[in-house]
Amino acid sequence: MSTSTDSKIRIQSEDFSVTEEIETMKKVSRNIGGITTFLGTGRELSKGENITKLDFEHYPKMAEKKMEEIREKAVKDFGIIDMSIIHRIGPIDIGENIVLIVAAGEHRQETFKACEWAIAELKRTTPIWKRETTSNGEVWVQDTP
């Protein structure tokens, strides 16, 4: 599990600061004119069920590798300056941060497109799994909304 705050790709159990991550990204280049973020948080309702607990597991090394591939492809294909991706694992309380993507570019258009693509691709390809605990028991979430 990566815990270095200098890394562009991190999987960690501890929370992160959105503000600190944006400030770190702003230091990458003086040509950054737009930064787009996606922040995923723990919600208490899913498919009509109240969630009492969330837990995330991952396939170590493979999850980081997939996230790095997503970052590299986003930079190349969308022409952004840089991107960082952080995903938490372990137990997550309702309302807590889960995932953060920060895309920085010269203009806003490419950062919006890169950020939206990156979260969809992360959910589609990265071996990180979510388990929700509801009043009806535990459910492994398999779909990617």
130 band by pLDDT with thresholds 50, 70 and 90: very high
Indicate whether 5 pLDDT > 60: no
Q: Is residue 45 part of a domain?
A: yes
- 58 inside domain: yes
Look at residue 33 and tell me if it is in a domain.
yes
Dump the DSSP string for 106-119: SSHHHHHHHHHHHH
Buried b (16+ CB within 10 A) or exposed e, 113-130: bbbebbbebbbeebebeb
What pLDDT is recorded for position 144? 52
pLDDT for 145 beyond 60: no
Instruction: Please check the confidence at residue 122 and state whether its pLDDT lies above 50.
Output: yes
Question: Has residue 1 been placed in a domain?
Answer: no
Residue 43 forms part of a structural domain: yes
User: Which whole number is the average pLDDT over 57-69?
Assistant: 96
Mean pLDDT to the nearest integer, 83-108: 97
In a domain, residue 68? The reply is yes
**Mean pLDDT (the chain, rounded):** 92
Domain that holds residue 68: 9-141
Percent of the chain clearing pLDDT 70 (strictly above):
94
What gap in Å lies between CA 110 and CA 10, rounded to an integer?
Answer: 23
Instruction: Give the pLDDT confidence score for residue 139 in this predicted structure.
Output: 85
**Domain assignment of residue 3, yes or no:** no
So what's the pLDDT on residue 6?
56
Query: Does residue 15 belong to any structural domain of this protein?
Result: yes
Q: What is the pLDDT of residue 83?
A: 98
- Asked if pLDDT for residue 60 goes beyond 60, the answer is yes
What average pLDDT does this structure show over 45-70?
A: 93
Find out whether 87 and 96 touch, Cβ atoms under 8 Å: no
Number of domains in the chain: 1
CATH number, residue 36: 3.90.1170.40
